[in-house]
Amino acid sequence: MKKTLALLATVVIVLAGVMVVRAARMPSMQGPAPDAVAPIAVDTTGAAEHLGSAVRFRTVSYDNGVNTDTAAFRGLQAFFDSTYPLVRQHLQKEFVNDLSLLYTWEGTDPSLPPIVLMGHQDVVPVIPGTEGDWTHAPFGGEVADGSIWGRGSMDDKVSVISALEAVEALLADGYQPGRTVYLAFGHDEEIGGLQGAREIARTLQERGVGPIDLVLDEGGAVAKGLLPGVEGAVALVGIAEKGYVNLELLVEGPGGHSSTPPNQTNIGILAEAIDELEEHPFPAHFEGPGRALFDYVAPEMSFVPRLALANLWLTKPLVEHMMLGDPESAAMLRTTTAPTIIEGGVKANVLPITARAIVNFRILPGETPRSVLDRVRSVIDDDRVKVSISGGDSVAPSPVSDPGSPAFKMLAGTIRQVMPEEDVKVAPYLVMGGTDSKYYAGRSNAVFRFLAAPIGPDGLKLVHGTDEHMSVEGLATSIAFYQQLIRNADGG
């Protein structure tokens, strides 16, 4: 017995030693420090006023795709012309599908593949009745308390204004890029980008533009406190985004009077189907973009989380269990299931003939809308429930761009050069929502998603929310980032 206990103790000690050594030897994925650059001068006061002015144009996209205020978009575009005269003079501007904008800044070396810098002009509506909950009017564009306030100040007029401010400043300095730079500003990203970004991408493809060296859209951000165990700021760069599919669950059958109900009503059948889906979530997959994030941040973590992530050969079940217990981290590991609409019945004493639900799935790379549909039918396993894609509404997950590519390294180096935090860490991650960049799948192997304006730990909650605002400091950093990125894309 004593020998057995001694052997077990030895095994435990050796195992603990191996784990500690592996954790201690985890190499940093940050790479060498980038070359230092001189501080980039930004007219923060003027830029803040420009973003505030852009917010005042109510370029709202509505879910039904109608009621678009074209005058607001025309006003915003005229504002661009008057505010950025050098951009108007030196870049070719064209309208794509009436309201989207494509600017072309011709490079001096046509042999170099171009880059595409993206943003979108449209914003989501403000929920009626909530206007009074805002600290400043949602379309007032006020500059107050160190921030620019209003709908679109974060999502995503900050990217559009930052890119235009950066190009205007570079032109004023006499800069001419070696490779061609495209500025692509869609007008309907908030409702899928079908008429905007998709048509811009198609236009470039029809002209034979490609391959594209780098595509950069909104997506990740720089923030503190997002990742437990990591001190300082982390810049999350999206290397892929989830797809989505909306599935309709439909139950049809006899109605009748509620006084003589069958053993299971149509609503009951539908409720049981939804319950089955929530009780049997999609399996977790630790590999892929979710794993890439932890490969990059684990070496920067405090000892205990680094110990766990350095030894996934042993700790993977525990790590997965902990991640699946939190909705945000769970979404990185699996296709998510979210019933969002349920309908049935018109009167309290009448059994409905039909009961209907819409379930939204955000699809992990490696799966497809079709595989989701097949699995849902298998899980429900009830012929009384008809399952179909609602209105053909589905988008496949994007391809995964390589965080080891030269384009990612150049992007990461630029982030580290211009961010005000002295030791910001850069890490790839999976974007949970959708962006316009998905339309460049197949056009570039380097499609990334990143908002260069640092935000607070709760900053992401402001996107589409009440009191959306962008700090003046964050806007200035974003402008400096675009300036340096364009220079670095030419080799510095």
Q: Which CATH architecture has domain 243-283+336-396?
A: 2-Layer Sandwich (3.30)
Burial class (CB in 10 A: 0-12, 13-18, 19+), 165: buried
User: What is the set of active-site residues?
Assistant: 122, 189
* DSSP designation for 307: H
Q: How far is CA 489 from CA 107, 220, 444, in A?
A: 11, 20, 15
What pLDDT is attached to residue 6? 62
The helix (H) or strand (E) run that includes residue 120 is strand 115-120
CB 40 within 8 A of CB 483: yes
Q: How far apart are CA 251 and CA 387, in angstroms?
A: 9
What pLDDT is attached to residue 393? 78
Furthest-apart CA pair in the chain: how many Å? 87
Strand pairing report for 425-431 and 115-120: unpaired
What pLDDT is attached to residue 339? 97
pLDDT, tens digit only, all 492 positions of the chain: 666 666 666 666 777 777 788 888 889 999 888 988 988 999 999 999 999 999 999 999 998 777 899 999 999 999 999 999 999 999 999 999 999 999 999 999 999 999 999 999 999 999 999 999 999 999 999 999 999 999 999 999 999 999 999 999 999 999 999 999 999 999 999 999 999 999 999 999 999 998 999 999 999 888 877 777 888 889 999 999 999 999 999 999 998 899 999 999 999 999 999 999 999 999 998 887 878 898 999 999 888 889 888 888 888 888 888 888 888 889 999 999 999 999 999 999 999 999 999 999 999 999 999 999 999 999 999 999 999 999 877 999 999 999 999 999 999 999 999 987 678 999 999 999 899 999 998 899 999 999 998 887 677 778 889 999 999 999 999 999 999 999 999 986
Query: Assign residue 122 a region: left if phi > 0, alpha if psi is -120 to 50, beta otherwise?
Result: beta
What pLDDT is attached to residue 392? 77
What pLDDT is attached to residue 294? 86
What pLDDT is attached to residue 455? 81
Burial class (CB in 10 A: 0-12, 13-18, 19+), 81: exposed
What pLDDT is attached to residue 11? 64
CB 165 within 8 A of CB 44: no
Class assignment of domain 44-240+398-489?
alpha beta
CB 330 within 8 A of CB 341: no
Q: How far apart are CA 287 and CA 319, in angstroms?
A: 13
Domain positions in the chain: 44-240+398-489, 243-283+336-396, 291-333
Q: How far apart are CA 260 and CA 258, in angstroms?
A: 5
Q: How far apart are CA 58 and CA 73, in angstroms?
A: 8
Backbone angles phi, psi at 314, to 5 degrees: -115, -35
CB 137 within 8 A of CB 466: no
What pLDDT is attached to residue 126? 96
Helix, strand, coil % over all residues of the chain, rounded to 5: 40, 25, 40
What pLDDT is attached to residue 3? 64
Considering the entire predicted model, what is its pTM?
A: 0.92
